[in-house]
Amino acid sequence: MAEPAPRSVYIALGSNLADPEAQIRCAFDELDRLPDSSLTSHSSLYRSRPLGPPDQPDYINAVALLRTTLSPQVLLDQTQAIEAAHQRRRGGERWGPRTLDLDLLLYADRVVQTDRLQIPHPEMTQRAFVLLPLAEIAPAGLVIPGAGSLQALLQRISSDGLWKL
């Protein structure tokens, strides 16, 4: 039986606690060490204002491109294990502060809808801190299933409160 072909997967990274820049850079290395996966590229780092409670530090955000043969569900388990290794606490305040957040944005051109996982990420099209870093590393003409072209989405979103580092 032939090995499955690696798929391109885009992962958003965010942190606003415990040296966020170091958290993101460490997560890039950890993504590259996942089984049957390799980190192909990553965006610059961006600073963004928090979406949730205003009494928290700004976030550092980025997007990584991973080539993997892992299934979306196994990849979710692996990224959640990375978050846990960074002392990520789940079940707290929505959009509250965190050491590390890894969100699966796109898995090739697949659409996944389960209780645990939605791909494309359901809120990515409204977030400049996702779309701008994604545009740095995505191929021209990238289409987000069900949402349209990345270029069209970028034209409709404000980058106020987002700074490239």
* Residues annotated as part of the active site: 88, 98, 101, 103
Residue by residue, DSSP assigns 108-128 as: TT--EE-SS-EES-TTGGG-H
Residues 6+ apart with CB under 8 A from 25: none
Q: Which residues of 128-147 are buried (b: 16+ CB within 10 A; e: fewer)?
A: bbbbbbbbebbeeebebeee
d(CA 163, CA 47): 5
Task: State the Cα torsion 86-92-95-98 to the nearest 10°.
Answer: -20
